[in-house]
Amino acid sequence: MGKSKKSIQIVILLAIVLIGVYAVATVVFGSDEVPKVGEKAANFELLGMDGNVHTMSEYEGKARVINFWGTYCPPCVREMPALQAQWEKWKDQGVEIVGINVGENKMTVENFVAQTGVKFPILMDPDRDAVASYGVGPMPTTFFVTASGKIHHIRIGELDLDTLDKQIEQLVKAK
Amino acid sequence: MSEGSKPLIQNTKCECGHQNPPGTVLCEACGKPLTKEAEAQQILEMRYDGVARRSQKANPGFIDKVWNFFSSVKVAIYLILLTLIGSSLGTILPQESTFLNIDPSVYYKEEYGQLGHIYYLLGLSHTYTSWWFVLLLVMIGASLVICSLDRVLPLYKALSRQRIPKHMSFLTRQRVVYQGTVEQDGAEWVERVKPLIKKKGYRVRTDGGTLLAEKQRFSRWGPYVLHIGLIIFLLAVLGRNLPGLHMDEHMAFPEGEPVHIKNTSYYLMNDGFKVEFYTEEDMPNEFKGKGKVLPKKFETEAILYVCESNCNTPGQEPQLKEVTRHNIEVNHPLNYKGLKAYQFDYDLTPILRTVSPMLIDSKTGEQYGKIDLSIKDPVREYKAGDYTLTLTQTFTDFGLGDDGKPVNLSPNPNAPAFLFLIKGPNLPADGIQYFYFPKQVDKERFQQDAINAQLAGGENLVTLDVLSMDDVDFAESTTYLNIRVDKAMPFIWVGAFIGMIGLVMGFYFHHRRIWLRVDDGTLTLGAHTNKNWFGLRREVAAILNQMNIEVDEKSLENNRGSQA
């Protein structure tokens, strides 16, 4: 009798602690949905320029560089050649570079890709779903994601060839 | 409560032979006061019938100490006071959540000065979602559960195991007391009074010359029912944060296009938006003659669809089925299975959807044919008579970059522009490039004709132009709706309703008990209630009068110790 009383007490206290931790955690961490370094990168399901649907999980096991861009964003346009060059350098070494176009139509993206000679996979996010789940504010924003799916580094602003190369190197090492 | 002064270990065996748990004030069996304090009371403190609370233990461990902390009503009151103070702090300045698009780190300083900035830094600009506020709510919840359990279980046991014979000192220290002589034998007298008490609605049990009458015991559970209601209420408030239970979004709906409501399977279409403005005569006086435009009424004809297939597949048209339609006005939201859409704002800027310009020979004016050009999602190839038009570049918001080259300024269709390669009869073999601006303002602003003449080598050979407004399809306006889902609301109502039942039980019903015993021709009667002593005294007096004992209501009041 005494024992069952005690275990009931413990169960009730545990339930209160769990609910309390959950409640406090949701208000503290739930309010800003911006993903942080060290957290798991969110999944997405987007139509690619190749006509197929691509998801984050299909790149599982590869280090990933996820770049959010638009043709209306001059620094995004400027950094495209650097991304293209790094893609060519790293694509056979387990690194995938993915560009996510934000809010534009297929025709605009297609023309831009043809003009700039971008070959790395470009996905389209017309409804800004991935933008929302990645908490992207100003563009360009680039997420460096490890092979295990953790965000290793977030770069807001224009990338250049050299630092991009170093960052990818670190990302590959960060397995 | 002064539990601290009580010795922790005491002999809890009553002279009636009952073994009471530690912390018992009045013997569970006979009601005899056990502690010195209770002994000293002229009128017994009958709270929880004098039973020990669950947490009162001889040697409390860690778990017991935590339990004891939350089981204290004093702690509960402090928690409630802190919460009250905290929530009142949150009302000093508007909370962050009341604004749509602000940067709180700047806004409070600009709007309310340095004090406003301090308010923001202290986190009071989001008081109700701060960790300490939620922690206080959780602690109040814990206190509610533990306080209740700690008291309701022993009280339930005490009330369901009441013994009929009570100790003399228990009876004479009730607030309603009568002592007098009766001529009959005790058991007989008790049998005679029994039906009279029953008539007053009491449940009566007798044991020889002793009697216990009781009514409306359920009112004692009122506070606990209220607590259950409050706990459901609190859990529902906390549960609102669970994904999918709560949504509060402001969304734009251009006329004529179903827009997906995120995280749901619903699409809502603005099927027409109407706005009426006040005429100058109708306007309130303070606005007259100021050239203000005041909307009188605005209304969105909304159609709600549910997606049946291809819902989350990018690149495929979702299959929609209409579920309801409603004309949304201010204060008249659309409401479908908990999804509510409130009128919030509107924008009367038209948005082009499709244009169907005619390809015309610039010299002869001959019309070769129309093309259908979608602004949002154009295709690559078009045919107009013998001519082929290939779209080579598209712009949603045409502009010129620092280097003078055309650039896209934004993904919004503010200034759409299309660069075609046109091939056909009477044109150079490689075709000519042709810039087309569907909006008249852009045509003039960017000098469409001059650019095209230059591209074609000096003169305009062909022109793309819409011939009438029938060839233009546009959304006349955009309505902004506030989409809300609050699935926790039913639980909040249920909690509030249960709480109300508890309040009614506790406030409008009174637990009344009458004990009596006849010892050698002496009748001793004690009666207890938790409220309305006046009513109880009147009932007891009426019963005694029916038994031919003349007694005045007021004389039943036990005024030992305060004798006039």
Residues B322 and B367 in one domain: no
> To which residue do tokens 């949504």 refer?
B247
Assess if residue B89 is contained within a domain: yes
B380 contacts on A by Cβ (under 8 Å): 107
- Residue B464 DSSP SS3: strand
A20 and chain B in contact, CB less than 8 A: yes
Neighbours of B305 (CB within 10 A): 21
Residues B455 and B371 in one domain: yes
The alpha carbon of residue B138 is apart from the nearest alpha carbon of chain A, in Å, by 6
Residues B204 and B126 in one domain: no
d(CA B7, CA B67): 20
Structure tokens at B473: 């399809």
- Report the domain count for chain B: 4
| Predicted local distance difference test score (pLDDT) of residue B426 | 81
Terminal alpha carbon distance of chain A: 53
Assess if residue B227 is contained within a domain: no
Nearest Cα residue in chain A from B261: A127
Angle ∠(B186,B192,B198) on CA atoms, nearest 5: 120
Q: What is the pLDDT along chain B (564 residues), one digit of tens a residue?
A: 344 444 444 566 888 888 888 888 888 888 888 888 888 888 888 888 888 877 666 677 888 888 889 988 899 999 999 999 999 998 988 888 777 667 778 888 888 888 888 998 888 888 888 889 989 989 999 999 998 888 888 888 888 888 888 888 888 888 888 888 888 788 888 888 889 899 999 999 988 889 999 999 999 999 999 999 999 998 888 887 777 788 888 888 988 888 888 888 899 999 888 888 888 777 777 777 777 777 888 888 999 999 888 877 766 788 889 999 899 988 899 999 888 999 988 888 888 888 999 888 888 888 888 889 888 888 888 988 888 899 888 888 888 877 778 888 888 888 889 999 988 888 888 888 888 998 888 888 888 888 888 887 778 888 888 888 888 888 888 899 999 988 888 899 999 999 999 999 999 999 999 999 888 888 899 999 988 888 999 999 999 888 888 888 888 887 654 443
Cβ atoms B61, B107 nearer than 8 A: no
What residue spans of A38-139 are helical by DSSP H?
74-90, 106-116, 129-133
Angle ∠(B116,B122,B125) on CA atoms, nearest 5: 60
d(CA B89, CA B124): 7
Residues B136 and B278 in one domain: no
B205 and chain A in contact, CB less than 8 A: no
Residues B276 and B179 in one domain: no
Strand B334-336's sheet: what is its strand order?
B246-254, B478-486, B339-347, B334-336
Nearest beta carbon to residue B134 from set A9, A27, A70 = A27
Nearest beta carbon to residue A70 from set B66, B314, B411 = B411
Nearest beta carbon to residue B131 from set A5, A27, A129 = A27
Structure tokens at B80: 């409630």
With a CB cutoff of 8 Å and minimum separation 6, the contacts of B216 are: B509, B510, B511, B512
Q: What is the pLDDT along chain A (175 residues), one digit of tens a residue?
A: 456 677 888 898 999 899 888 888 877 776 556 677 778 888 888 888 888 888 888 888 888 889 999 988 888 888 898 889 888 888 888 888 999 999 888 888 888 888 888 888 999 988 888 888 888 888 889 998 888 888 888 888 888 888 888 888 888 887 6
Cβ atoms B237, B246 nearer than 8 A: no
Q: Is the Cβ pair A72, B401 closer than 8 Å?
A: no
Q: What is the CATH number of the domain that holds B192?
A: 3.30.310.50
Nearest Cα residue in chain B from A31: B129
Assess if residue B71 is contained within a domain: yes
A30 contacts on B by Cβ (under 8 Å): 241
Assess if residue B166 is contained within a domain: no
Strands B210-215 and B512-519: antiparallel
DSSP class of residue B13 equals B
d(CA B367, CA B170): 111
B468-483 core/surface letters (b: 16 or more CB in 10 A; e: else)? eeeebebbebbbbbbb
Residues 25-44 of A with CB under 8 A from B: 26-28, 30-31
d(CA B185, CA B121): 80
d(CA B101, CA B407): 28
Q: Which helix (H) or strand (E) holds A68?
A: strand A63-69
A71 contacts on B by Cβ (under 8 Å): 407-408
The alpha carbon of residue B408 is apart from the nearest alpha carbon of chain A, in Å, by 4
- Residue A23 DSSP SS3: helix
User: ipTM score here?
Assistant: 0.75
Strands A122-125 and A95-102: parallel
Assess if residue B262 is contained within a domain: yes
Cβ atoms A98, A66 nearer than 8 A: yes
Residues B342 and B391 in one domain: no
B137 contacts on A by Cβ (under 8 Å): 23
Q: What are phi and psi of B400, to 5 degrees?
A: -110, 135
Tell me, what amino acid is at B404?
G
Rg of chain A over all Cα atoms, to the nearest angstrom: 21
Residues B344 and B370 in one domain: no
d(CA B17, CA B268): 76
| Predicted local distance difference test score (pLDDT) of residue B11 | 61
Neighbours of B527 (CB within 10 A): 24
Tell me, what amino acid is at B241?
N
Bond from prior residue into A140 cis (ω within 30 degrees of 0)? yes
With a CB cutoff of 8 Å and minimum separation 6, the contacts of B492 are: B233, B236, B237
Residues B347 and B366 in one domain: no
Q: Which structural domain, as residue segments, surrounds residue B63?
A: 53-158
Assess if residue B168 is contained within a domain: no
Nearest beta carbon to residue B408 from set A13, A20, A71 = A71
DSSP B174-229: SSEEEEEE-SS-HHHHHHHHHHHHHHTT-EEEEETTEEEEEE-GGGGGHHHHHHHH
- Residue B410 DSSP SS3: coil
d(CA B252, CA B254): 6
Q: How many CB pairs under 8 A join A and B?
A: 94
B433 and chain A in contact, CB less than 8 A: no
CA distances from B5 to A89, B23, B37, B45 (A): 80, 12, 10, 17
B378 contacts on A by Cβ (under 8 Å): 105, 107
Q: Is the Cβ pair B141, A16 closer than 8 Å?
A: yes
Residues B151 and B60 in one domain: yes
Strands B210-215 and B246-254: unpaired
Tell me, what amino acid is at A132?
A
Assess if residue B44 is contained within a domain: no
The alpha carbon of residue B446 is apart from the nearest alpha carbon of chain A, in Å, by 18
- Residue B375 DSSP SS3: coil
Q: Which helix (H) or strand (E) holds A98?
A: strand A95-102
Assess if residue B4 is contained within a domain: no
Angle between helices A2-30 and B62-71 (to 10 degrees): 70
Residues 156-185 of B with CB under 8 A from A: none
| Predicted local distance difference test score (pLDDT) of residue B51 | 83
Looking at the whole model, is its pTM more than 0.95?
no
Q: Is the Cβ pair A13, B260 closer than 8 Å?
A: no
Q: Is the Cβ pair B314, A108 closer than 8 Å?
A: no
CA-closest candidate to residue B242, choices A40, A23, A28: A23
Residues B345 and B366 in one domain: no
